[in-house]
Amino acid sequence: MMGPRQEAQSALFYEFSLEDHVPQDHLLRSIDRFVDPTSVRAHLADFYSHTGRPSVDPELLFRMLLVGYCFGIRSERRLCEEVHLNLAYRWFCRLDLTDRIPDHSTFSKNRHGRFRESDLLRHVFETTVACCMKEGLVGGQGFAVDASLVSADVQKQNSSNPEDWAAREIDPNDAPRAVREYLDTLDDEAFGAATTAKPKFTAHADPASQWTAARKGPAFFAYSDNYLIDTDHGIIVDLDASRSNKTAEVGAMRKMLDRTEDWFRLKPDWIAADTANGSSDNLVWLALKRQILPFIPVFDKGERTDGTFSRSDFTWDDENDRYICSGGKEMRHTWRTYSDPKRNAPSWRARKYRALKSDCSRCALTVKCCPNSEARAIHREKYENVRDFARQCTASEFNPTAQRRRKKVEMLFAHLKRILGLGRLRLRGPCGVQDEFTLAATAQNLRKLAKLKPMVPAIG
């Protein structure tokens, strides 16, 4: 039976509890167990004031930022509206139905002020990683590292040739915040000093961003988000923002490994990465200095594509310091016989190994070996022994497992852009970009904690 709805008189009193209206299996309930408000307040204790207008609780601001980055709400205006309307968001932020929501401008003031001066976001990220370690989600044996491009909040129309935009001649007092941050990082290996090569364009609003066409499509301004993860459960143990070039990304990897060992006492037995980290100096740093097995493809320009023999087709004889060609002939860096054997001993320097002209002229494989020269020569780099060791690692039985686990970092980047909505940055400058990446990584670790360590339902 149907009929018009009977409108009753409004009740004079209501009994309403947010606790009863938030589902027990809601994501925020699981995340709330791992958020420690006391550490936030203690970290900002020096910034409290007992005079002036009533202050805003920093825990409330941080909880609202976590809600925004966990659910892809990165607009501060929209975040305030969502927290005002959503009961679960109010419950997580410890707000009652009658509590007012802070103004959206409050976030900007605290992000660029107290939060950045106290390094609060980094502190909370490290606290979250420590919580993951306590829950047994970080093994510490195997790490993976990778970088992903994230578009900067600038347009090509507001850019010019670097020669027409002299950064060091700008007055810092009149420059925007993003430009001042860039001027402060001109000597930083991750930004200004990352490479001596000048990009084609420099963005006036955010000069630290990199003009790049690394995606094999139209070029754009971007930053690199570098992740160092533990491969057991894909926990992000460190992150770093840098310019989008190989030198800066390799430097970010080294910084993250050093920082993780200093702060968490974590030193992996092996690390997996892509070819961008396979340069000679980086492999030497990993294998010799840090004693970490590199499951990284070697960055090698010795492979030929014209059908002739590449360097890998020749056999290296380390004991006799020579190469053996496919025809069974030897190749040496010198054919002289010295009275002092030390002058002919192997050493850590680049060398060129040559075959005898007489051997190559009578060889049946000359057409496939050296069709355009009288004798074949092979350049051997200074640290070729370390490169050979890396090749042995990538040829081992464990390498497929290491590369399969490395895919977890790529899955994190996909989750970052598709689910959390960080396909384009909202903040500018090195500090603003670092803050965005840190908040996003913290949200991803908290979501992983909530998934792998769900709440136990109450009995009865």
| Average confidence (pLDDT) over 110-131 | 85
pLDDT surpasses 90 at 216 = no
Average confidence (pLDDT) over 425-432? 90
Q: Can you tell me the mean pLDDT for 69-76?
A: 90
Q: How far apart are the first and last CA of the chain?
A: 38
Is residue 397 very low, low, confident or very high in pLDDT (cuts 50, 70, 90)? very high
* Cα–Cα distance list, 24 to 19, 37, 60, 71, 457 (Å): 9, 21, 22, 18, 8
| 205: its two tokens | 């609003």
- If you average pLDDT over residues 126-131, what whole number do you get? 94
When pLDDT is averaged across residues 50-75 and rounded to a whole number, the result is 81
Query: What is the pLDDT, as a whole number, of residue 460?
Result: 47
SS3 annotation, the chain: CCCCCCCCCCCCCCCCCHHHHCCCCCHHHHHHCCCCHHHHHHHCHHHCCCCCCCCCCHHHHHHHHHHHHHCCCCCHHHHHHHHHHCHHHHHHCCCCCCCCCCCHHHHHHHHHHHHHHHCHHHHHHHHHHHHHHHCCCCCCCEEEEEEEEEECCCCHHHEECHHHCCHHHCCCCCCCHHHHHHHHCCCCCCCCCCCCCCCCCEECCCCCCEEECCCCCCCEEEEEEEEEEECCCCEEEEEEEECCCHHHHHHHHHHHHHHHHHHHCCCCCEEECCHHHCCHHHHHHHHHHCCCEEECCCCCCCCCCCCCCCHHHCEEECCCCEEECCCCCEEECCCCCCCCHHHHCCCCCCEEEECCHHHHHCCCCHHHHCCCCCCCEEEECCCHHHHHHHHHHHCCCCHHHHHHHHHHHHHHHHHHHHCCCCCECCCCHHHHHHHHHHHHHHHHHHHHHHHHCCCCCCCC
- Choose the weakest-confidence range: 5-19, 151-165, 352-366, 440-454: 5-19
- 78 or 7: whose pLDDT is higher? 78
pLDDT at 271: 96
What is the average pLDDT score of the chain?
A: 85
Q: Which of 202, 200, 206 is nearest to 152 (CA)?
A: 206
Q: Is the pLDDT of residue 29 over 50?
A: yes
- 356-361: average pLDDT: 86
Lowest mean pLDDT among 16-30, 113-127, 186-200, 316-330: 186-200
* pLDDT (0 to 100) of residue 52: 54
If pLDDT is split at 50, 70 and 90, which confidence band does 333 have?
A: confident
Predicted TM-score (pTM) above 0.75:
yes
Top-confidence residue, 271 or 244:
271
pLDDT at position 106 over 50: yes
Average pLDDT score over residue span 111-139:
88
pLDDT (average), residues 410-437: 92
- Indicate whether 54 pLDDT > 70: no
pLDDT at 338: 61
With a cut of 50, say whether residue 406 has pLDDT above it. Answer: yes
Give the pLDDT score at 318: 81
Please write the tens of the pLDDT for every residue from 89-100.
Answer: 999 998 888 888
Judge contact between 271 and 295, C-beta under 8 A: yes
pLDDT surpasses 60 at 168 = no
Residues 261-282 pLDDT 10s: 999 999 999 999 999 899 888 9
pLDDT beyond 60 at 1:
no
Q: Is the pLDDT of residue 260 over 50?
A: yes
Taking residues 237-253, report their average pLDDT: 92
| pLDDT for residue 190 | 77
% of the chain surpassing 90 pLDDT? 39
